[in-house]
């Protein structure tokens, strides 16, 4: 009987602790919590949602969800697409980039990238895939202004960039379709950009086979780049690095030759550092 009483007491104590752990803090701001719940809905597979879907997934009533989304939209944390869908805005990407700049990925990449930039005399970038965009985490720029007005925290459409295409190539068909569901293949692209998802799929298949990606005036006229993956301990790349050049100085053979050899060596070095951490 005594053992039963002790067991009941222990169970009651554990239940009380669980309840205390689950109880909201007295400092909790419910409106802020709801906003964070909305932002947490988005990830690599969920890149946009309708307002009704946000309500269904969070349990937030429609009028409240409308106000939360409107507030986040005003601050740039969400943006509304022409079809009424809602997706993360640039402010979210900027917050993410600030966190990532302090990550081991950026810190371990700094010296190898700097060495690559000095050896080639060209602009060198490190980027990750965020939805259908490439987010630039590091950029060592040469004096050639034709290599585009991009800085750390900038984003470009993944479908047009060498780093973006490289990272998209590692997605499954379903992941690729979901990631690019709202991408407009007819907008803001260079003369050689893919004009449909099917055309892009063909390019991604070649990238998977060769292990690197080229960008030949797909972002904008006059720009070329070559990109390779950076790996941690997982089979999918954690990031990509590229060398960006002016088309007037380097043809595609140059990108496939000496520059590709150098950037592969740099990516291997960064991958080794990541696996050792």
The pLDDT tens digits of the residues spanning 209-257 come to 999 999 999 998 889 999 999 999 889 999 999 999 988 888 899 899 9
DSSP string, 1-22: -HHHHHHHHHHHHHHHHHHHHH
For residue 134, the tally of other CB atoms under 10 A from its CB is 31
Residue 17 has pLDDT above 80, yes or no: no
Contact (CB, 8 A) for 196 and 185: yes
> How is domain 2-88 classified at the CATH fold level?
Arc Repressor Mutant, subunit A (1.10.10)
Show me where the domains of the chain are located: 2-88, 94-276
Contact (CB, 8 A) for 150 and 250: no
Distance CA 72, CA 81 (A): 14
Dihedral of alpha carbons 143, 149, 155, 156, sign: negative
Coil/strand/helix, residue 93: helix
Distance CA 205, CA 271 (A): 23
Residues in the chain: 277
Query: What is the tens place of the pLDDT at every residue in 149-203?
Result: 678 878 899 999 999 999 999 999 999 999 998 888 877 789 999 999 999 999 9
What angle, 0 to 180 degrees and rounded to 10, lies between the N-to-C axes of helices 104-120 and 90-101? 90
Query: What is the tens place of the pLDDT at every residue in 84-125?
Result: 999 988 787 667 666 655 568 888 999 999 999 999 999 999
pLDDT of residue 173: 93
> Which residues are CB-neighbours of 207 under 8 A, at least 6 positions away?
165, 166, 169, 213
Q: Give the burial class of 27: count Cβ atoms within 10 A of its Cβ; 0-12 exposed, 13-18 middle, 19 or more buried.
A: exposed
What CATH code would you report for 94-276?
3.30.450.40
Contact (CB, 8 A) for 137 and 100: yes
pLDDT of residue 18: 47
Distance CA 136, CA 272 (A): 21
């Amino acid at each position: 009987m005594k053992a039963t009483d002790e067991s009941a007491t222990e169970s009651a104590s554990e239940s009380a602790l669980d309840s205390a752990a689950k109880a909201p803090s007295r400092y909790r701001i419910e409106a802020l919590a709801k906003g964070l719940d909305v932002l947490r809905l988005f990830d690599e597979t969920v890149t946009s949602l309708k307002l009704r879907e946000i309500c269904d997934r969070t349990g937030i009533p429609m009028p409240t969800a409308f106000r939360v989304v409107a507030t986040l939209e005003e601050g740039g944390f969400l943006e509304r697409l022409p079809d009424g869908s809602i997706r993360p805005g640039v402010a979210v990407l900027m917050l993410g980039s600030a966190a990532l700049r302090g990550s081991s990925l950026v810190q371990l990449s700094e010296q190898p990238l700097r060495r690559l930039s000095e050896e080639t005399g060209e602009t060198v970038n490190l980027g990750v895939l965020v939805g259908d965009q490439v987010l630039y985490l590091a950029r060592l720029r040469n004096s050639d202004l034709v290599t585009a007005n991009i800085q750390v925290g900038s984003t470009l459409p993944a479908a047009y960039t060498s780093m973006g295409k490289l990272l998209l190539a590692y997605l499954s068909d379903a992941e690729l379709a979901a990631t690019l569901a709202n991408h407009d293949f007819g907008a803001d692209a260079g003369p050689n950009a893919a004009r449909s998802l099917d055309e892009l799929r063909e390019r991604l298949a070649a990238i998977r086979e060769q292990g690197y990606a080229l960008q030949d005036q797909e972002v904008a006229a006059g720009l070329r780049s070559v990109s390779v993956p950076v790996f941690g301990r997982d089979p999918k790349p954690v990031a990509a690095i590229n060398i960006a050049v002016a088309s007037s100085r380097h043809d595609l053979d140059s990108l496939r030759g000496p520059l590709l050899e150098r950037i592969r060596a740099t990516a291997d070095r960064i991958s080794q550092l990541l696996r050792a951490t």
